[in-house]
Amino acid sequence: MSRPAVIELEAVLEIIRRRSFRAAALQLGMSTTALSNAIAKLERQLGVRLFNRTTRSVSPTEAGRAFAEQVGPAIEAIQAAMTTARAQQETPSGTLRINAFATAAREIMAPLILQCLKRYPQIHIDLVTEGRLVDVVAAGFDLGVRSVDLVPSDTIAISLGRPRPIAVVGSPDYFKTNGVPKVPQDLLSHSCIRVRMPNGALYRWPFERGGETVQVDVQGQITLDEATLSRMAVLNNVGIGYFMEADVREDIADGRLVRVLEDWAPSLAPLCLYYPNRRHSSAAFQAFIALAREYAAQDRSSRNSIA
């Protein structure tokens, strides 16, 4: 047996409210005949008469009145939900879920995420950081942020900046006591902060200069899987660390950390914001994408002016 459509349930309430098939039909934007047929269909499905009708008047039966009392709150809830959904197409509001590497999240936090919250106070951002790659659609995310070389080919991607330089750093006290490495191989005689990848493997530090590439399996007293903890260890003279430059830029500028092997340090691929193709996206989603494109354009403009 087919189930009643929402319009048929709305029709019952409107007829009771207007006490007229004709007035209810005008309110619902349909013909009187179509409304009468819809009610007759609903009555057949329910196996009960909902209205007593004459050529002059219409009134609900006892069953019709009881049915309306039960259906009314549900229809109001549905209409409220539809109104809310339409409003999100007009005013950027609601929640956006974003998945990103922790380092990527730190890079876009101030220029993109915080800027979005300031510009659109009704938007809520749920940012989840994790090292593993996830299927953003299957995991219930609206957007993902990853290096361009890790973005799925079947998604739409927006480049968020330039290649990201690496910085190898240590504290002034550490280098004063242990000396400064001149080439990557010198790291083998130093205490380094080892990095564990999301898959459990230990990260071999990559370097390159003039076409020559080197990977160093560094050693040290501690192994960590999060850059903030690694920075803390380096600041406390535990050893040398391998970081995204953005994570330690202020420490270098303020003299808390000293950069070494700069001529050997590589740059990683730019970040990308990516998302599946969406035909009907919310105003919040569209606003965030527009802000990301604006940010990307400003970055390109600043690079061109420098060049």
Label residue 1 by pLDDT band (50, 70, 90): very low
Q: What is the average per-residue pLDDT within 166-191?
A: 97
- In this prediction, residues 136-153 reach a mean pLDDT of 88
Tell whether the model's pLDDT for residue 107 goes beyond 80. yes
Domain boundaries of the chain, sorted by first residue: 6-90, 94-162+270-306, 164-268
pLDDT of 281 reads 76
Stated pTM of the model: 0.63
Q: What does the pLDDT look like over 49-76, one tens digit per residue?
A: 998 887 777 888 999 889 888 888 888 8
- pLDDT of 137: 81
Same CATH topology for 6-90 and 164-268?
no
The per-residue pLDDT for 277 is: 76
Q: What is the pLDDT of residues 197-239, one digit of tens each?
A: 888 899 999 999 998 999 999 999 999 988 999 999 999 999 9
Q: Highest mean pLDDT: which of 4-18, 101-115, 130-144, 212-226?
A: 212-226
The per-residue pLDDT for 175 is 98
Indicate whether 304 pLDDT > 70.
Answer: no
- Domain at 6-90, CATH class: mainly alpha
Average pLDDT, the chain: 88
The full DSSP string for the chain is: -PPPPHHHHHHHHHHHHHT-HHHHHHHHTS-HHHHHHHHHHHHHHHTS--EEE-SS-EEE-HHHHHHHHHHHHHHHHHHHHHHHHHHHHHS--EEEEEEE-HHHHHHHIIIIIIHHHHH-TTEEEEEEE-SS---TTTTT-SEEEEEGGGS-TTSEEEE-SS-EEEEEEE-HHHHHHH---SSGGGGGGS-BEEEB-TTSPBPPEEEEETTEEEEE----SEEES-HHHHHHHHHTTS-BEEEEHHHHHHHHHTTSSEEE-TTT--EEPPEEEEE---SS--HHHHHHHHHHHHHHHHHHHHHHHH-
Q: Per-residue confidence at 250, pLDDT binned at 50, 70, 90?
A: very high
Residue pair 144/273 in contact by the 8 Å Cβ criterion: yes
Residue 263 has pLDDT above 60, yes or no: yes
pLDDT class of 42 with cuts at 50, 70, 90: confident
> Which class in CATH covers the domain with range 94-162+270-306?
alpha beta
Over 80: is that where the pLDDT of 145 sits? Answer: yes
- Region 278-289: what's the mean pLDDT? 82
Q: pLDDT at residue 81 above 90?
A: no
Percent of the chain at pLDDT > 70 equals 92
Question: What pLDDT is attached to residue 302?
Answer: 64
Q: What is the mean pLDDT of residues 153-172?
A: 92
Task: Looking at the structure, give the CATH architecture of the domain made up of residues 164-268.
Answer: 3-Layer(aba) Sandwich (3.40)
Q: Given this model, what pLDDT does residue 191 score?
A: 98
pLDDT band at 89 (very low <50, low <70, confident <90, very high): low
Percent of the chain with pLDDT over 90: 46
